[in-house]
Structure 1
Amino acid sequence: MPHLYLVDGSGYIFRAYHRLPPLTNKHGEPVGAVYGYTTMLWKLADELHKADGPTHMAVILDKSSKTFRNDLYDQYKAHRPPPPEDLVPQFPMIRDATRAFSLPCIEEEGLEADDIIAGYTKAALAQGWQVTIVSSDKDLMQLMTDPSVDMYDTMNNRRLGPDHVFEKFGVGPDKLGDVLALMGDSVDNVPGVTGVGPKTASKLILEHGDLEGVLAAAEGMKKGKLRDNLIAQADNARLSKVLVTLKCDAPLPEPLDDLALQGIPDAPLRVFLEHHGFKSLLAKLSAVADAPVAAPTSVPQEEDPPCEHDGYETVVDEAALDGWIESARHQGWIAVDTETTGIDATRAELVGISLALQPNRACYVPLGHGGTGLFAETPPQIDTAVALAKLKPLLEDPAVLKIGHNLKYDMIVLGRLGIDVAPFDDTILMSFDLDAGLHGHGMDELAATHLSHSCIAFKDVVGVGKSQRQFNEIDLDAATRYAAEDADVTLRLWRRFKPRLAAEQVTRVYEMVDRPLVPVVAQMERHGIKVDREKLAGLSTAFSTQIAGLETEIHALAGGPFTIGSPKQLGDVLFERMGIKGGRKGKSGVYSTDVNELERIAADRDSPGVEIAGKVLEWRQLSKLKSTYTDALQAQINPATGRVHTSYSLTGAQTGRLSSTDPNLQNIPIRTEIGRQIRDAFVADAGNVILAADYSQIELRLAAHMADVPQLREAFASGADIHSLTAQELFGEVNRDTRGRAKTINFAILYGISRWGLAGRLDVTADEAQAMIDRYFERFPGIRNYIAATTEFVRENGYTVTLFGRKTHFPRISSKVQHERQGAERAAINAPIQGTSADIIKRAMVRMGPALAEAGLGHVRMLLQVHDELVFELPEGDVAAARPVIERVMASAAEPAVMLSVPLGVEIGVGPSWGAAH
């Protein structure tokens, strides 16, 4: 029997728009809704319902906001806000996406999509067809009066029939229009009858048959507001019935037979996906012209079924756990995730472990569930020690691949319990190495992007506010649905990403740089670093005194007190009270007082705000350092270890650099006295010292190699001062001023700085800055050629590549918005250099442990990685032996994968604190 699927396209579009973050394609156009819509439609058209045998399909859209209903009632949908600004240009692209699937995209002037769906439903039923309406819209539920019509709610993966209408509205589909007419619709501005909700409406219809029956009986009803409103608003109710009734008799825009489903043709879809740069979707096609995707035999490539949470297993006895372990050993891989009592892996306690073997074949092993109160019940679960004794051999088995998402966290938690997880794959790193710069890499976003799946929100499980509970306090059914889904989704993501690594040529950076780093960073976080609480408290006191003094000075300069930390009050003081020129207001009407604006004012010697701007910048820095470091670090000392354990993100910076939080060590000022004082609080244990090893000018060295600049290569090879060389080349002499300018120019040009940006840095005119840039390129043409070649490459390909194959995508490189495009170009110029630098220090970190162990120095601990620096703690007597090992590993970290034409210089310092080691 023919089976027609009618897709409510408008519902799909808005769901796609709101479920994904803003995305742009390689042309700089917004495509978040386009991408989401495409993935959802693909799943529906090609995979999700093959078992149901759809023979015909069409996507139905709204042509415009005005229909025949507006002629009947000019306030119909009058209160609906316009679509979001960045969604409007995506509507034509969504129509293109529909046609790329060779699906009819039907819309008709004067009709709503619901009316067109009603017309096709009536026509299909007349020919004896089955009809499935892909929507959960209540108005369309009126069409399910025939048993051959049902609805499919893709958001909740469920079929809807007449029983659903009765459960929700208390009447069948044939009476739903009467109920909707009485209750009205605030979204569509259907008036209805005041005070009548769904329950009252359904009660009235059941008692009196239909709308006219209710209105006729109103006079005899008990006196009250309901009776009065039914009488007074009878015309509104009748109008509402017309507005909610679907128009079934309009001519069909296309014949039914033209809606035949032919399958997804390769060519038009490929052109569409390539145009927008939707690489993960291109990988789903059977062949890609320039890089066919061949799946390893261990990674099935058939599309996964929807997540079925009710099928997940709660493992509460040893025999069941043994079965899962045995299946994992037989298969050779298993996805793993942990549930804990907090987000700090060095303090959190293990609550449970989830496992997944195949899509929908997932389980949760509760270990620490049960309330903390006197009468709290502990649910049945395996003893933690017994379960871990069984799981440890599996998680350490070299013949079974463990798959995790952000596995560093789980490694720290399990490592504290004596379990070393290996070997492994990490889907957060796979996503990062494949798609850095295109989107985030959290599980929820990846599930929506790649699986068209919305993960259960943590807050929906544990609650929020005063009613929030710990994860170990929720019931096992809810815990299993949430936890097992994490493992299930991780496995599904791995099945998508694994074959893409080789196809998209990122296997090298994943296998040689990022994946080996995970256990190294996990160990660093577990080690932590000692901080001197008394030193921090003294700094906090000193900073408080300085901050108070600055506040007094700022208030005096401003002519009165105000809240310095309020951008609005500060803007009013600077640009209204003091009359400083050049202030600019944002959309909110508040003057901008960001760092760029304050630096502009502070640099203008003729401005009346030159002094106050400088003071405010100093006040902000001291306030931030006090709150972020000297105050916060004291609270961040782990009572169990007496040390501070920063958390590193391996995917936090899109060029590949590590970033840290709690505390963020990247933002401690590098060359200021205040920054040194803070670093002085990071100390070694008694008998130990801190050793800091820093790459010297690594980005300039890499630029000399990658841009092939003979003068710079020779200077680095001979150990000459690179900034003095540049000063001699540009200015003909070397002194303190010319060397300082040369240093600024060396780094600024590698970051793609503009003439205006350099003018601001050097306090010269834009023309003078441009002359310096021109002279620089004249003396070092290799740099100019590198910038041109890099810019051209990223414009053509949409991404840059490091020497180790790390890709960084720049979707705004072709943006029609000038500042967005120029910003992408500037970032792209530096990305290959900064990314290669990040790759090199990561390789050094991976090799450091084995090298030190081989030298009999396995007790030397690597504690921190900040920018181009590694920080160690070791016994003072081992410094002489450890120094050459550390220097050799760092200097040769690129080899043999990359042989550089310049040496990598490493500067090493030693002292009782991090600050003293510099």
Structure 2
Amino acid sequence: MNDKASSAPRPLTAGDRLYLIDGSGYIFRAYHALPALTRKSDGLPVGAVHGFCGMLIKLLRDASNGEKPTHLAVIFDHSAETFRNAIYPEYKAQRPEPPEDLIPQFGLIREAVRAFNVACVDQEGYEADDLIATYARQAREAGAEVHIISSDKDLMQLVRPGVTMLDTMKDKTIGEAEVLEKFGVPPEKVIDVQALAGDSVDNVPGIPGIGVKTGAQLITEYGDLETLLSRAGEIKQTKRREKLIEFADQARISRELVTLKDDVPVEEPVEDFAVREPDPGAVVGFLKAMEFTTLTRRVASDLEADAEAIEPVPVAVEGWEAPAADGGGAAAAAAGDGAATPGMRAAAAADAVRAVAIDPSAYETVTTLDRLDAWIAQAREHGVVAVDTETTSLLAMSADLVGISLALEPGRACYIPVGHRASDGFDFDGDGIAQLDRAEVVERLKPMMEDPSVLKVGQNFKYDWLIFIRQGICPAPVDDTMLISYALDSGRGGHGMDELSERHLGHKPIPFKEIAGSGRQQVTFDLVPVDKATAYAAEDADVTLRLWLALKPRLAAEGKTAVYETLERPMVAVLGEMERAGVQVDRNVLSRLSHDFAQGMARLEAEIHELAGESFNVGSPKQLGEILFGKMGLEGGRKTKTGAWGTGADVLETLAAQGHDLPLKVLEWRQLSKLKSTYTDALPGYIDGEERVHTSYSLAATSTGRLSSSEPNLQNIPVRTEAGRKIRTAFVAPRGAKLVSADYSQIELRVLAHMADIPELKQAFADGLDIHAMTASEIFSVPIEGMDPMVRRRAKAINFGIIYGISAFGLANQLSIPREEAADYIKRYFERFPGIRDYMEGTKAFCREHGYVETLFGRRCHFPNINVKHPSERAFNERAAINAPIQGTAADIIRRAMIRMADALEEAKLKARMLLQVHDELIFEAVDEEVDRTIETAVTIMERAAEPAMTLKVPLKVDARAAENWEEAH
């Protein structure tokens, strides 16, 4: 930043470098890509300002290739109305209003540009892109280099020798080759392709049914738009020909709209953009006013200025009103001060919460009924109370209640001990321990906990809900801070209380091991002294309330209220009821299977030893490696960091595919061993006195909305092998009832057909065709009638593999075919269904720019590492980003079905209850005489679950069956 340019304007010449920053575009990118940031003193949102300043500093310091700009300007849009609205009034008419917490940052960013002594340019009647086009032309005519700081596709038409684009957020230069890769045509033909494809964001109409890929093919073939339109009658495809003829004028209008004017009568000459040294007082003063401590130090150092001696420069803020300085202002803003936007209120609420210190020594231990009654009365008066339970186990269906904590406002919390006992292990009645009787506490709490006018707030409240239910209390209504965080920040980190506390409150809660010990010395909570229990438990309630105050306003500010209210919050009670019900398991079946698996393992061990020519421990990877690669000398072995031979499943599968029997037998042995240890031997330990198993579902364990289960995990029971399917025969219905399995048929493929808008797939689903056979017929040109099952299997692997971004290598392994053949299959697939590749590429591009993708129902899945430089990590994130909207939408649909199911069953006067959810399948228990009506009700709810929020372009189909056990019903 120490390069100096003459203050006197001079014409640009060869050797000059003009940097034109797309200010309007960069503001939105900085806002969406970077974390939210507020000024600590008053909650002013400044995240986009901070990102913009950082970018500007980097440019002034060390622009690409070490070549610093000689001329620099930031170009902004003047207003929404431009000459294009006179051509086409609907142009950009459907663009949403900017986020409310971004509005005050527009003016601040302009002030930042001026503070850095950089030209800040806009002009009424023209867009920033037109000004950039004009200045770029003028500079090139003068012989200067032009670098446009933007990734906006609309500016790519300007790229040519001497004019490049620079995406500073990805550190990527966009030249002619990159434009050709994106549009399929060189820069000079981009506007013709855009005229055909249109732009839904800017409301450029284009020609219906023609996308960028098709447009590029047409322009490449016919040369330009006018030639294409004049020869449209030659097009062989009927629909395409008709559309080109019918919407020719619309395409011409679109071309006018997307063509950037490079002859704007600019009011500020390009020579005025010479880079000038910033005034330390102005730039450091501005940065200090924004409270950007790190940037202030960096700039002051570059300018060799004394930051301490420079006072903050007052900056007027438009579109925002600071909260009152007494601390009540933030609370008022959070509560709904009309002068503040939702974003401002959210930021102010978070700041207000962080301002109150957390002091565990200040919490009250409630040991009298009078004090308990006082807390309950105050909770009713407040209308919101944070609640947490302490128990003897993480398994809610078997845990004993030890204590309850409440919090009414930050720093004001209590703990009510009810189940502590002496540490010697004999004083089970808790003699000498100051605590209340559990039954009396439950009786007094019950009316408040069930009062609809009092909101109960918890962290992972499903657990506490089950604890209270077992005590005869049905808490309602409830809010769950874990689920609020999940709706807001899925993919940005974990949602456990300790992590959320450190992330949002800057506070590390008391670790459990600090009060209960660790390892073998760890005790259950009932043995923790009450004073330590109070500090720990009341802090949990206090932190939970603070998280609720900080996070709940963000739902409205970030448009995620509907996601939380319709897909997250109702699931607390839905899953709680399912876990409470459990599923009946037949011990005798498990015992028999365990015996069978043991015999199978023994048989396989004998065969393995015979093939190896000696006895060894089959379960020892080290010994197995020595046999395979040492003694037998098989090829393909590789050693791990420890020096032992690698014998993972991938290694054994490769060897087995090469025809070697021993690794194949080991794989079979490992499968039986896994089934035996994980299921047939372990499941009996989870069976309760009513012969039922109660799994625990996690609502926020995946980034896509899919549920996971644990203790025991019933979602990972293998179903692709006969041995794995046998495990499901142990899950049975009670006498006089049946298990009903209702399973969505190919729901993710149906969602893909809708989202990628693939005509062939949509029609196939509408006609009820075998989608895998249809795909095989399309790709391999074979008739569906009498199709070889292996051909269908390959198409099925591709169909499902595409959803997960499968590579040729992965498909080759899955089908045991050469990689070249697998690559050819994938190539043919995309050629036959080009819309799927367009969807995938479009999804990746969106995620790279915004850092997230969304499901059809608005669930946002963040991928903060989508732009990392490491190729394999970036590729992993890209595959996950492609899959997330599909898998997430499917997960949202089944959640919607689950939420409606209880009411539907009750309305139909059915006794059936929902027991399990396994990915796309719901399992019910229904009495014999109600099986048919239960199936009818479940299928109806599941097939219509997307409605009325979303009408899919393909029908959802549910297969349902009833039987004595889960395997027969599936």
TM-score scaled to structure 1, two decimals?
A: 0.69
Q: Does 1:431 align with 2:485?
A: yes
Deviation at 1:806, TM superposition (A): 0.9
Within-5 A mapping of 1:64-75: none
- Residue by residue, what CA displacement relative to the aligned partner does 1:84-122 show, whole Å, maximum 9, x if unpaired? xxxxxxxxxxx99996555547999xxxxxxxxxxxxxx
Give the counterpart of 1:876 among 905, 914, 928.
928
1:629 match:
679
- Please give the alpha-carbon distance, in whole angstroms, between the structure 2 residues aligned to 1:777 and 1:106: 50
Give the counterpart of 1:394 among 448, 454, 458.
448
- Given that 2:461 and 2:572 are in contact with CA atoms closer than 8 Å, whether structure 1 keeps it comes out as yes
Where in structure 1 do 4 or more consecutive aligned residues deviate above 6 Å? 95-98, 105-108, 263-267, 296-300
Change (3 A) 1:744 1:106: closer
1:706 match:
755
Deviation at 1:468, TM superposition (A): 3.0
Q: Does 1:752 align with 2:801?
A: no
Give the counterpart of 1:339 among 360, 371, 390.
390
- Given that 1:104 and 1:259 are in contact with CA atoms closer than 8 Å, whether structure 2 keeps it comes out as no
Change (3 A) 1:378 1:528: farther
Identity between Structure 1 and Structure 2 (%): 51
Change (3 A) 1:840 1:341: same
Secondary structure of residue in 1 paired with 2:416: strand
Secondary structure of residue in 1 paired with 2:968: coil
Deviation at 1:611, TM superposition (A): 1.7
2:820 aligned partner, one-letter code: D
Within-5 A mapping of 1:844-883: 844-857=897-910, 859-883=911-935
2:171 match:
none
- Please give the alpha-carbon distance, in whole angstroms, between the structure 1 residues aligned to 2:39 and 2:620: 49
1:616 match:
666
1:694 match:
743
- Please give the alpha-carbon distance, in whole angstroms, between the structure 2 residues aligned to 1:710 and 1:795: 27
2:363 match:
312
Secondary structure of residue in 2 paired with 1:469: coil
- Residue by residue, what CA displacement relative to the aligned partner does 1:806-834 show, whole Å, maximum 9, x if unpaired? 11112221111111011111111111111
Contiguous gaps of at least 5 residues in structure 2: 1-27, 44-286, 318-332
- Please give the alpha-carbon distance, in whole angstroms, between the structure 2 residues aligned to 1:330 and 1:595: 60
Secondary structure of residue in 2 paired with 1:478: helix
Within-5 A mapping of 1:589-738: 589-605=643-659, 610-639=660-689, 641-733=690-782, 734-738=787-791
- Given that 1:301 and 1:495 are in contact with CA atoms closer than 8 Å, whether structure 2 keeps it comes out as no
1:794 match:
847
- Please give the alpha-carbon distance, in whole angstroms, between the structure 1 residues aligned to 2:346 and 2:300: 40
Change (3 A) 1:417 1:260: farther
- Given that 2:350 and 2:551 are in contact with CA atoms closer than 8 Å, whether structure 1 keeps it comes out as no
- Given that 1:690 and 1:917 are in contact with CA atoms closer than 8 Å, whether structure 2 keeps it comes out as yes
- Please give the alpha-carbon distance, in whole angstroms, between the structure 2 residues aligned to 1:266 and 1:848: 54
1:529 match:
583
- Given that 2:386 and 2:406 are in contact with CA atoms closer than 8 Å, whether structure 1 keeps it comes out as yes
- Given that 1:46 and 1:264 are in contact with CA atoms closer than 8 Å, whether structure 2 keeps it comes out as no
Deviation at 1:883, TM superposition (A): 1.5
Deviation at 1:301, TM superposition (A): 4.6
- Please give the alpha-carbon distance, in whole angstroms, between the structure 2 residues aligned to 1:381 and 1:798: 51
- Please give the alpha-carbon distance, in whole angstroms, between the structure 1 residues aligned to 2:470 and 2:827: 57
- Please give the alpha-carbon distance, in whole angstroms, between the structure 2 residues aligned to 1:393 and 1:481: 26
Change (3 A) 1:627 1:505: same
Secondary structure of residue in 1 paired with 2:889: helix
Change (3 A) 1:750 1:478: same
2:821 match:
768
Give the counterpart of 1:908 among 932, 956, 960.
960
2:710 aligned partner, one-letter code: T
Deviation at 1:728, TM superposition (A): 0.8
- Given that 1:46 and 1:263 are in contact with CA atoms closer than 8 Å, whether structure 2 keeps it comes out as no
1:409 match:
463
Deviation at 1:671, TM superposition (A): 3.2
Change (3 A) 1:579 1:100: farther
Give the counterpart of 1:303 among 351, 354, 357.
354
RMSD after superposition: 3.3
1:802 aligned partner, one-letter code: T
TM-score scaled to structure 2, two decimals?
A: 0.65
- Structure 1 window deviating more from structure 2 (352-361 vs 469-478): it is 469-478
Change (3 A) 1:594 1:107: farther
Deviation at 1:559, TM superposition (A): 3.3
Within-5 A mapping of 1:427-466: 427-466=481-520
- Please give the alpha-carbon distance, in whole angstroms, between the structure 2 residues aligned to 1:691 and 1:768: 41
- Please give the alpha-carbon distance, in whole angstroms, between the structure 2 residues aligned to 1:634 and 1:439: 35
Deviation at 1:290, TM superposition (A): 12
- Residue by residue, what CA displacement relative to the aligned partner does 1:366-392 show, whole Å, maximum 9, x if unpaired? 111222415963422222122111111
Give the counterpart of 2:951 among 893, 899, 903.
899
1:834 aligned partner, one-letter code: Q
Secondary structure of residue in 2 paired with 1:294: helix
Secondary structure of residue in 1 paired with 2:413: strand
Change (3 A) 1:644 1:906: same
- Structure 1 window deviating more from structure 2 (95-104 vs 803-812): it is 95-104
1:278 match:
none
Deviation at 1:476, TM superposition (A): 1.4
Give the counterpart of 2:942 among 881, 890, 903.
890
Change (3 A) 1:318 1:726: same
- Given that 1:755 and 1:769 are in contact with CA atoms closer than 8 Å, whether structure 2 keeps it comes out as yes
Change (3 A) 1:546 1:266: farther
2:593 aligned partner, one-letter code: L
Deviation at 1:558, TM superposition (A): 2.8
Contiguous gaps of at least 5 residues in structure 1: 1-25, 48-94, 109-252, 268-282
1:782 aligned partner, one-letter code: G
- Given that 1:666 and 1:867 are in contact with CA atoms closer than 8 Å, whether structure 2 keeps it comes out as yes
- Given that 1:103 and 1:261 are in contact with CA atoms closer than 8 Å, whether structure 2 keeps it comes out as no
Q: Does 1:803 align with 2:856?
A: yes
- Residue by residue, what CA displacement relative to the aligned partner does 1:259-278 show, whole Å, maximum 9, x if unpaired? 778599999xxxxxxxxxxx
Deviation at 1:299, TM superposition (A): 8.9
Deviation at 1:799, TM superposition (A): 1.2
State the aligned residue count: 670
- Given that 1:353 and 1:364 are in contact with CA atoms closer than 8 Å, whether structure 2 keeps it comes out as yes
2:814 aligned partner, one-letter code: R
1:622 aligned partner, one-letter code: L
- Structure 1 window deviating more from structure 2 (731-740 vs 525-534): it is 731-740
- Given that 1:354 and 1:362 are in contact with CA atoms closer than 8 Å, whether structure 2 keeps it comes out as yes
2:437 match:
383
- Please give the alpha-carbon distance, in whole angstroms, between the structure 2 residues aligned to 1:342 and 1:597: 40
Deviation at 1:551, TM superposition (A): 1.9
Secondary structure of residue in 2 paired with 1:916: helix
- Given that 2:744 and 2:959 are in contact with CA atoms closer than 8 Å, whether structure 1 keeps it comes out as yes
2:550 match:
496
- Given that 2:353 and 2:546 are in contact with CA atoms closer than 8 Å, whether structure 1 keeps it comes out as no
2:573 aligned partner, one-letter code: P
Change (3 A) 1:321 1:897: same
